[in-house]
Structure 1
Amino acid sequence: MCIDFRTIQFSQSLIFAIEEINNSSSLLPGVSLGYKMYDTCSSTGMGVRMAMALANGNENSTLDEPCTKPAQVQAIIGETYSSVSMAIAQSIGPFSIPLVSISACLSDKRKYPSFLRTVPSDYYQSRAMAEMVKQFGWTWVGALRRDDDYGNNGMAAFTEAAEQLGVCLEYSLPFFRTYSQEKVLRIIQQIKSSTSRVIVAFVTSWDFEILLHVFHEYNITGYQWVGTEGWITDSTVARLDKHKILQGAIGVALAQTKVTGLKDFILDIMPLQSAGSAIFTEFWEALFNCKYTVQNESEDATVCTGQEKLSERDNAFTDLSLMPIFCNVYKGVYAVAHTLHDLLGCTQTCPTKNTNSEISFLEHLKRVRFKTKDGEDVYFDKNGDPVAKYEIINWQTVEDHHDFVTVGLYDSSFPALNRLAVKMNSIVPVSVCSESCLPGTRKAVQKGKPICCFDCIPCAEGEINAIKCERCYQDYWSNAHRNECVKKEIEFLSYEEIMGILLTAVSIIGAFMTIIIAIIFFKHKNTPIVKANNSELSFLLLFSLALCFLCSLTFIGRPSEWSCVLRHTVFGITFVLCISCVLGKTIVVLMAFRATLPGSNVMKWFGPLQQKLSVLAFTLIQVLICMLWLTTFPPFPFKNLNYFKEKIILECQLGSAIGFWAVLGYIGFLALLCFILAFLARKLPDKFNEAKFITFSMLIFCAVWITFIPAYVSSPGKFTVAVEIFAILASSFGLLFCIFLPKCYIIIMKPENNTKKQIMGKVPFK
């Protein structure tokens, strides 16, 4: 038989509490508590057998003085294992005998109504571990669990909490000390082939006695271990970890509580001598590694003297790292004593006549609340659990051993977001299935894998990554790194850019040249060449050409309501005025030729007054078209967000496309009519035929505007406006140069030809 020092420590804690209660004058005065201890040897069958023996009420008192009542068990303190506790709770449940456990966790109160515990629920322990793992950024972890109710239920709670927090388990492997070598080898292979670098171990200290040897044999090192209160503060495990496999381990441990005098009582082993010489002898021999009786002289063994010093020992018995569990034993005994005290003194609601006293004791135990002598408040919640308080423990290596350093706290009584507080300055490993996506990318879960395994896909244009790829607002666009929405570039034909400057300069030059030609014509207005070409229509044509050059300036600059309305209407009216003048000049040429025929009197039907009225009539038609356009659906400034995704094009929306094409079509109709008439008159027998120049000018005009239409439709952004300005300038220069430059050349360079005879063709040109 092997003595378990931990069991002795638990026994000492129980004895200390009972003796303290029996010596109290305020708690259960005149009443002495007795006890009977059994060792279940971690066996379910033995645990049930011992529990039934206690429930039968045939036990003898261990006290020297006789009991005044039969030995009737009011409560059972224990057991440490959940599996054994489950069997005991089911066995004694029908008798309503409370089972107050110091470490087991049975959460289903419908199946175990008489089960209470002084250790917090593993639900909160699992939750604390999951929150801690998440706080350190470990989203990809493995798990090792004890293959019993403690490990399986605890790991199920951890898995549920982890999934809620976005932590994924790569594997969850069961382990038990009785596993075959083949099963253990499969566990080792699974761990070694995994990619996660963090292992959550929901096991006990006894499991690590086997696991540490196996891990060393198969070189399972370099992992970050996360532990439960079952082993994280166990110094025996720390001593067994000679190869530093668990170095840097972190986990949750029961919060340290203080019970004055308990530590000294546990280490005071001399009272065991009076409890039974056999167990004392066995315990002493195991503690000091000696023998009271040497049966064989050749046996190499140290003889026990009984005077050995406990202070010279450093083993599991002198290790009090499980003091919180010893305190749980103490609190469990006191909970039973306070319940008895309340019932005997009837300080709480007394049982009714028809109420079974055993049931009454269980119900009173669930409602009991008291303070220990050191001021700790003890009570059970509706599930028979205490408030969950844990310390976050980190294994830090000092010289050649592990130190348990408290680096944080977890308190379930706090609000959910404030329950965990951890301060960890040491470097912790990275354990993720996939590295966090860089800004500008989004997660795409890998098919068939947990949500923690993902690929990082760049966000689409116009999207940025904050938590997921999100579309930028309408006037914004994503930058090159896809991590910020920036204001879209606004595009319009500006006076500040090179294209705008050049077009402005050409427009002004064209208007200036028109004015110069008008001045020349004005100075030579009495010369034959000016008179012969209808000087009034010529000056009106030059005025309209100047307006045509200047109207192109309304197309440059930031579009506004007035500029959008002005640019198309001014353009349409000035060009109609211009073409009307040219058309009038063409008709004059034809009429003049007809007037030279015998008996012809056509000029009286198209004299100066009729010419002016025709120009006015043609222009008024265009004015009417523009007015209808502006009153129905006028042009307006518009943000074009569709042509370029990364730019905003400021443009003038036509409003009514019919109105725009009606204006343009009317100009084209007049230009075509003028071209046809000029073409018919091109071979009239005049020495200086005006119709030839008009034909060339209209040919250029029509060619420009025919090519304008496809260029206008296909040009993007500000180039649409530039194409329209170019068409206006090109056609204006075509009219100006073809109609007026030949006349200016004669006026300035060949004044000798500027005579009536030369113009009428009666003298040949030299």
Structure 2
Amino acid sequence: MCTGMETKISCNLPNENITGYISRPGDIIIGGTFPVHFQITYSDFHFTSKPPELQCQLISSEFYLSLQALIFAVEEINANPELLPNVTLGFQIFDTCKTLQRAAQATLLMLSGGKEMTPNYHCYKGAPLAGIVGDPASKRTILMAQILGLYRYPQVSYLATSPILSDRNLFPSFFRTVPSDEFQMRGLAQLVSHFGWSWLGLLANDDDYGQFGLQIVKQEIIKAGACVAFAENILTSKPDRNAPHITRLIRMSTAKVIIVITSDSDFLIVVEEMLRQNVTGNTWIASDAWATSTLLSNRRFQGILSSTIGFAIYHGQMPLFNEYLNSLSQSHLHDLFMMELWEQTFSCKWLDQEKFHALMANGTMKACTGEEKLESLMMELEHRVSLHVYTAVYAIAWALHNMLYCTHGYGALHAGTCATISSFYPWQLLHYVRNVNFKTKDGSHVFFDANGNPPAMYDIVNWRVSANGSLEKVTVGKFELNSPDGTIFNVYGAEIIWNNHTQVPLSKCSPSCPSGSRKVIVPGKPLCCYECARCPQGQISNMTDAVECHPCSWDTWPNLQQDRCLPRAAEFLSYDEPLGYSLAVISSLFSLTPITILGVFICYKKTPIVRANNYFLSCLLLFSLFLCFLCSLGFIGYPQPEKCLLRQVAFGMTFTFCISCVLAKTITVVIAFNATKPGSRLKRWTGVKVSYCVLLVCTLIQTFLCVMWLILSPPFPEFETDKKPGVIIINCNEGSSIAFWCMLGYLGLLATISFIVAFLARRLPDSFNETKFITFSMLAFLSVWVSFIPAYLSARGMYTVAMEVFAILSSSLAVVICIFLPKCFIVLFRPKLNSREHLMGKSRGKK
């Protein structure tokens, strides 16, 4: 290091005429860089003569006020007896004109002592440099941080947000008072999810800021289930920023919400092109680089940019700062920047007294009088950037304060030593900056994490048209990663205005699928571009844009809209159903028929025709037919467990007993007529024993089958939900279908035997046509039950039961009609035929 006197030495670089800086002496110096001018004039470099200096134009009022925030903070600290007592802070502030060249020059000048640029040397005796506050642009900040990191000078940026700067290996001495873009971009993706936008456009600068932001936002959007309609770069190397192409793309796209990650000056060119092509109706999501831009607040852009919502750097309170700015406007000759801002704001020129009178005489230019008021300009700005400059100065001041009050033996440096406030090394102060922890006057907690980042906190702002027609930014929420109450994302939705409405605009590739339907992905298209399909039968969706439908529980079924489940209708052959009570009435009425005939038989039991029909078997048959009619009632009504257990068994036993009686009658008739032949051996079988044996044996076989059925696999109530949509069919499961068909098959076997025996005996004397009647009855019986089988197997629900009831009634009635109706007709209406002679066929001979 060069030491000694303030004399120029031979180790300097070629002299550069650095303009655009403000300084103030002090015991310790804080440096600062600000893009006070945001436009420069370029010259062609032929190198035939010395290249001219950069010509900076157009003052940025926002960054000029930020520069004043540094001066204000230094003055406030110097006036505070409790912070850095007996130590006066000074400053060196440089205008970078938004160029890398000026940023590098300013950095080297401050490191060299503030006089000339001499790399690796501090050649002028003076106050030590504590650190540098700056720069706002990540590109320039990275360049400065690479230089400052070599010597471990603390650098605190108030607006550089590039995540690359969090790398402590590359930038060991860098800190910032605004969060890294990584937090902001994840927050923007959460904002998109909060409002339910799923079809988005992305615009981003083609620099590090835009491309990193684009990558993170795109990744987070896709992770949240949304889709990107387009992602286009704003080409900063082109004068038109690729605006014509971008505008055409936006007009053609169906995405109505667009995230823009760029600076206000670059986006201004795109907005101007959209104004020319009259592209409106979009909702813009702004990154912090333009979310509070005054450049885009012109009333010309209200049709395009109103309802914009975005993330802005946190806006806190700076007590007395406005008063300080007002005092500056009254002393307008405070610095050259103020004079230039005054001329630019009021379109006038500062002139000496002689030139003033000459100018007033010819009237070619308006002269500045000093009576103009800057208060209106000051009030329009929110001082968001200024607050973070203010915080950055205080972070360095508190680090110096902690170093000042270090106690030897207990210090943070090696072996408990402390640095001397008048001659410290930059790396010593760096330790204190890294561990700074304080609260600002508005209560905000300031500290740096291991990567030099502050607590992530953003305001969510909404752009709306103010009373004067310009676009104002209203805070409508907050994103705070370290929120005390744990609420990271908080949006006051009721305060947001969307294109003069309060309803959130839609941005979807496909219209929402209503409840009762689900989304169907279209092959070859993004996931957000889908079609809607009704839910499958038996399933519902009770929300819009459902990804899948859900089945109802077993006892419920979807309504017509398929958006909720309703209790299924129960179906069984009920007495309340027309079919149920009709069959019940028919069964009851038909059951009276065999009872009536039985009464007739009892009254005329001594008559020949009744006696010839085996009176006792006929009574048993009529009684069994009565039971057959009544057993059909067991199939009607709610299938209780007891009813399921007994109804098929009762049906099988009564019909077995009935057919056994018919078979016994048939065998008795055959034996009786064949026994009359001379020498017949059947005379011994003419008694009632044969009938009873047939009846007993046939019934016992069916009884055995039914008992085994009930023991091994008894019937039980069953709820069927898959046979008829929306209906629970309550029926009796037969338990063992084999047992059921064995029981029914045995009945068919008995009926077939009876039919065959009766058919073979059909040639008995005509006057006694009992076998013919039995043949017809068994033929009808078998026809009914053979027809029943396919009908039973094809029927569903209560109609299955109704088919069985109908078969029971039909077959029982067939037996009654075919066997007993002719006899009753003779007994009641043809008594002359009810004689022994007629039965024996003798009446014909008398004629």
CA distance in 2, matches of 1:179, 1:268: 42
Q: Match of 2:279, SS?
A: coil
Give the direction of change, closer, same or farther, for the CA distance of 1:183–1:299 in structure 2 (3 Å limit): farther
Residue equivalent to 1:608:
688
CA distance in 1, matches of 2:232, 2:379: 30
Answer yes or no: is 1:390 the counterpart of 2:458.
yes
- Find 2:431's aligned residue among 351, 360, 363: 363
Alpha-carbon offset, residue 233 of structure 1: 2.6
CA distance in 1, matches of 2:381, 2:340: 24
Q: Match of 2:89, SS?
A: coil
Alpha-carbon offset, residue 43 of structure 1: 1.7
CA distance in 2, matches of 1:133, 1:104: 24
Alpha-carbon offset, residue 271 of structure 1: 9.3
Alpha-carbon offset, residue 157 of structure 1: 3.0
Alpha-carbon offset, residue 559 of structure 1: 1.6
Contact persistence 1:28–1:341 (CA under 8 A): yes
Give the direction of change, closer, same or farther, for the CA distance of 1:473–1:614 in structure 2 (3 Å limit): same
Residues 640-664 of structure 1: CA deviation (Å, up to 9, x unaligned): 2332243222222221222112211
Judge which range, 396-405 or 293-302, deviates more. 293-302
TM-score calculated relative to the size of structure 2: 0.84
Unaligned runs of 5+ in 2: 1-55, 118-122, 418-423, 496-501
Residue equivalent to 2:768:
688
Residue equivalent to 1:412:
481
Letter in 1 for 2:397: A
Residue equivalent to 1:472:
552
CA distance in 2, matches of 1:550, 1:733: 12
Moved over 6 A (4+): 270-275, 295-299
CA distance in 2, matches of 1:360, 1:97: 9
Contact persistence 1:507–1:549 (CA under 8 A): yes
Alpha-carbon offset, residue 624 of structure 1: 0.9
Residues 473-513 of structure 1: CA deviation (Å, up to 9, x unaligned): 22222222111122222221111111111211221122101
CA distance in 1, matches of 2:411, 2:621: 116
Alpha-carbon offset, residue 407 of structure 1: 2.5
Alpha-carbon offset, residue 190 of structure 1: 1.1
Q: Match of 1:236, SS?
A: coil
Contact persistence 2:347–2:366 (CA under 8 A): no
CA distance in 1, matches of 2:653, 2:416: 110
Residue equivalent to 1:51:
107
Contact persistence 2:466–2:472 (CA under 8 A): yes
Give the direction of change, closer, same or farther, for the CA distance of 1:374–1:531 in structure 2 (3 Å limit): closer
- Find 2:526's aligned residue among 450, 454, 458: 450
CA distance in 2, matches of 1:420, 1:653: 60
Within 5 Å, give how 1:1-12 maps onto structure 2: 1-4=56-59, 5-12=61-68
Answer yes or no: is 1:421 the counterpart of 2:491.
yes
Answer yes or no: is 1:309 the counterpart of 2:372.
yes
Alpha-carbon offset, residue 103 of structure 1: 1.0
Alpha-carbon offset, residue 521 of structure 1: 0.5
Alpha-carbon offset, residue 176 of structure 1: 4.5
- Find 2:804's aligned residue among 724, 731, 743: 724
Residue equivalent to 2:712:
632
CA distance in 1, matches of 2:240, 2:256: 24
- Find 1:16's aligned residue among 72, 75, 79: 72
Letter in 2 for 1:600: S
Judge which range, 507-516 or 472-481, deviates more. 472-481
Give the direction of change, closer, same or farther, for the CA distance of 1:345–1:306 in structure 2 (3 Å limit): farther
The percent identity for this pair of structures is: 39
Q: What is the number of equivalent residue pairs in this alignment?
A: 757
Letter in 2 for 1:728: I
Residues 319-371 of structure 1: CA deviation (Å, up to 9, x unaligned): 55241210111110111011011112216842116999433322321211122
Answer yes or no: is 1:343 the counterpart of 2:403.
yes
CA distance in 2, matches of 1:664, 1:206: 94
- Find 1:460's aligned residue among 523, 530, 536: 536
Residues 603-654 of structure 1: CA deviation (Å, up to 9, x unaligned): 3224113312221121111111111111111111122233224322222222
Q: Match of 1:25, SS?
A: coil
Give the direction of change, closer, same or farther, for the CA distance of 1:560–1:523 in structure 2 (3 Å limit): same
Judge which range, 623-632 or 604-613, deviates more. 604-613
Alpha-carbon offset, residue 417 of structure 1: 5.6
Q: Match of 2:370, SS?
A: coil
Residue equivalent to 1:254:
313
Letter in 2 for 1:193: M
Residues 106-159 of structure 1: CA deviation (Å, up to 9, x unaligned): 324223332211123333333333333333332222222233233332333333
Residue equivalent to 2:231:
172
- Find 1:289's aligned residue among 347, 350, 363: 347
Contact persistence 2:72–2:321 (CA under 8 A): yes
Contact persistence 1:701–1:731 (CA under 8 A): yes
Residue equivalent to 1:146:
205
Give the direction of change, closer, same or farther, for the CA distance of 1:439–1:303 in structure 2 (3 Å limit): closer
Contact persistence 1:128–1:420 (CA under 8 A): no
TM-score calculated relative to the size of structure 1: 0.93
Residues 570-626 of structure 1: CA deviation (Å, up to 9, x unaligned): 111111111111111111111111121112242322411331222112111111111
CA distance in 2, matches of 1:320, 1:153: 32
Letter in 2 for 1:350: A
Alpha-carbon offset, residue 522 of structure 1: 0.3
Residue equivalent to 1:195:
254
Letter in 1 for 2:325: I
Within 5 Å, give how 1:547-566 maps onto structure 2: 547-566=627-646
Q: Match of 1:34, SS?
A: strand
Letter in 1 for 2:57: C
Residue equivalent to 1:542:
622
Q: Match of 2:627, SS?
A: helix
CA distance in 2, matches of 1:532, 1:338: 131
Residues 159-181 of structure 1: CA deviation (Å, up to 9, x unaligned): 33333333332122222554244
Within 5 Å, give how 1:177-326 maps onto structure 2: 177-181=236-240, 183-239=242-298, 241-242=300-301, 244-269=303-328, 281-293=339-351, 301-302=364-365, 304=367, 306-311=369-374, 318=378, 320-326=380-386
Q: Match of 2:764, SS?
A: coil
Alpha-carbon offset, residue 213 of structure 1: 1.8
Contact persistence 2:457–2:479 (CA under 8 A): yes
- Find 1:484's aligned residue among 557, 564, 567: 564
Alpha-carbon offset, residue 374 of structure 1: 4.4
Residue equivalent to 1:87:
143
Alpha-carbon offset, residue 459 of structure 1: 0.9
CA distance in 1, matches of 2:183, 2:383: 20
Alpha-carbon offset, residue 182 of structure 1: 8.0
Judge which range, 387-396 or 30-39, deviates more. 387-396
Give the direction of change, closer, same or farther, for the CA distance of 1:497–1:26 in structure 2 (3 Å limit): same
Within 5 Å, give how 1:501-512 maps onto structure 2: 501-512=581-592
CA distance in 1, matches of 2:538, 2:338: 80
Residue equivalent to 1:64:
none
Contact persistence 2:58–2:344 (CA under 8 A): yes
Contact persistence 1:60–1:71 (CA under 8 A): no
CA distance in 1, matches of 2:664, 2:329: 136
Letter in 2 for 1:166: G
Give the direction of change, closer, same or farther, for the CA distance of 1:300–1:161 in structure 2 (3 Å limit): farther
Contact persistence 1:97–1:358 (CA under 8 A): yes
Residue equivalent to 2:731:
651
CA distance in 2, matches of 1:631, 1:503: 31
CA distance in 1, matches of 2:184, 2:564: 41
CA distance in 2, matches of 1:658, 1:322: 89
Judge which range, 497-506 or 127-136, deviates more. 127-136
Letter in 1 for 2:492: V
Contact persistence 1:494–1:557 (CA under 8 A): yes
Contact persistence 1:13–1:266 (CA under 8 A): no
Q: Match of 1:51, SS?
A: helix
CA distance in 2, matches of 1:280, 1:520: 132
Alpha-carbon offset, residue 538 of structure 1: 0.3
Give the direction of change, closer, same or farther, for the CA distance of 1:533–1:164 in structure 2 (3 Å limit): same
Letter in 2 for 1:395: W
Alpha-carbon offset, residue 300 of structure 1: 5.4
Letter in 2 for 1:422: Y
Q: Match of 1:424, SS?
A: helix
